[in-house]
């Protein structure tokens, strides 16, 4: 894991601690943080076009994104996150906002100004996706949740269940994140301060689980209903995963 990804993960964790104590973040929580703490203007594509006095078509051509995009105006130093108000699921909307937040908090807009070759860099997309994943579902908390119900090492179903049903990621994001954590989780440093902040709520998420057998049955049942996505987590290989990371794939 590169130093950039290590620092990206730490920055995502620090940001999450500031956003709030809820296990599942919401679009509103992320938007309020960006507006109040980062001075970012968050608008829909239509609102952004009206604010800038241009056609929505121009916004779409400029951003080249169907879900969300970051717009930086260097003359005024203004930052916008523009998103599609017609995104069908809350999970996709939330991921898109967190992905763009990663670009801004990591300073990618400034890096692109100094080095135009970075405009379409897969490295920056990898950082933004890593930031979004660790902001929404820090690996430390994923492991922390699983360890409460399972003494042996977690498998990919455990990871998928935690991402999907504990932290509320989409099916696709849960499958890909489970695959990544099963391959690279050992490289992510444990953040004890996250456990201290969120540990009590992790303990109370599923009060009806009293034994390891209860947990096993629940995970098996939930994963069985979403077999295709769990199987996808198994089937993803490293080259395909890296190819997905060249864009916002969630």
- Residue-by-residue pLDDT tens, the chain, 250 positions: 788 899 999 999 999 999 999 999 999 999 999 999 999 999 998 898 888 888 777 776 776 667 888 888 888 999 999 998 888 789 999 999 999 999 999 998 888 777 777 667 788 899 999 999 999 999 999 999 999 999 888 999 999 999 999 999 999 999 999 999 988 887 888 999 999 999 999 988 998 888 899 999 999 999 999 988 888 888 875 544 455 444 444 4
Q: Are 81 and 42 in contact (CB under 8 A)?
A: yes
Count of domains forming the chain: 2
| Tokens matching residue 118 | 């970075």
Helix (H) or strand (E) holding 69: strand 68-73
The answer to whether residue 69 sits within a structural domain is yes
Alpha helices in 39-169 (DSSP H): 45-52, 56-63, 90-105, 108-114, 122-136, 139-147, 156-161
Indicate whether 56 and 171 sit together in one domain.
no
pTM over 0.95: no
Q: Which of 189, 190, 186, 147 is nearest to 166 (CA)?
A: 147
CATH of the domain at 75: 1.10.10
For 112-130, give one letter per residue: b (16+ CB within 10 A) or e.
Answer: beeeeeeeeeeebbbbbbb
Please tell me the predicted confidence (pLDDT) of residue 246.
47
Please tell me the predicted confidence (pLDDT) of residue 63.
67
Indicate whether 34 and 63 sit together in one domain.
yes
Domain hosting 129: range is: 3-133
The answer to whether residue 250 sits within a structural domain is no
Q: How many helices (H) and strands (E) does the chain have?
A: 14, 3
| Tokens matching residue 78 | 């203004």
Please tell me the predicted confidence (pLDDT) of residue 250.
47
Indicate whether 153 and 112 sit together in one domain.
no
The answer to whether residue 31 sits within a structural domain is yes
Pairwise CA distance, residues 30 & 34, whole Å: 6
The answer to whether residue 85 sits within a structural domain is yes
The answer to whether residue 205 sits within a structural domain is yes
Pairwise CA distance, residues 160 & 99, whole Å: 20
Please tell me the predicted confidence (pLDDT) of residue 64.
67
Last residue of a domain, one of 110, 133, 156: 133
Last residue of a domain, one of 133, 152, 170: 133
Write the burial class of residue 83 (CB in 10 Å: 0-12 exposed, 13-18 middle, 19+ buried).
buried
Please tell me the predicted confidence (pLDDT) of residue 248.
47
Contacts of 198-204 spanning 24+ positions with Cβ under 8 A = 198/21, 198/23, 198/141, 198/144, 199/144, 201/21, 201/22, 201/23, 202/23, 202/141, 202/144, 202/145, 202/148, 202/166, 203/148
The answer to whether residue 249 sits within a structural domain is no
Q: Are 165 and 140 in contact (CB under 8 A)?
A: no
Last residue of a domain, one of 133, 163, 180: 133
Q: Are 31 and 42 in contact (CB under 8 A)?
A: yes
Residue 70 β-bridge partners: 81
């Amino acid at each position: 894991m590169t130093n950039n990804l290590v620092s990206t993960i730490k920055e995502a964790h620090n940001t999450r601690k500031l956003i709030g104590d809820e296990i599942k973040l919401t679009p509103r929580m992320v938007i309020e943080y960006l507006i109040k703490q980062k001075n970012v203007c968050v608008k829909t594509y239509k609102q952004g076009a009206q604010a800038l006095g241009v056609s929505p078509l121009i916004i779409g051509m400029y951003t080249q994104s169907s879900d969300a995009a970051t717009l930086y105006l260097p003359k005024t130093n203004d930052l916008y996150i523009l998103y599609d108000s017609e995104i069908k699921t809350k999970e996709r909307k939330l991921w898109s906002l967190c992905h763009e937040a990663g670009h801004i908090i990591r300073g990618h807009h400034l890096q692109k100004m100094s080095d135009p070759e970075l405009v379409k860099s897969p490295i920056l997309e990898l950082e933004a996706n890593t930031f979004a994943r660790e902001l929404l579902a820090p690996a430390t908390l994923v492991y922390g949740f699983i360890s409460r119900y399972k003494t042996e090492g977690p498998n990919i179903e455990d990871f998928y269940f935690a991402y999907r049903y504990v932290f509320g990621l989409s099916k696709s994001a849960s499958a890909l994140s489970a695959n990544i954590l099963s391959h690279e989780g050992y490289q992510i440093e444990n953040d004890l301060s996250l456990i201290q902040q969120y540990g009590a709520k992790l303990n109370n998420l599923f009060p009806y689980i009293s034994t390891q057998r209860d947990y096993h049955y629940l995970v098996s049942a939930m994963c069985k209903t979403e077999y295709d996505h769990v199987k996808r987590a198994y089937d993803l290989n490293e080259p395909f995963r890296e190819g997905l990371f060249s864009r916002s794939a969630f």
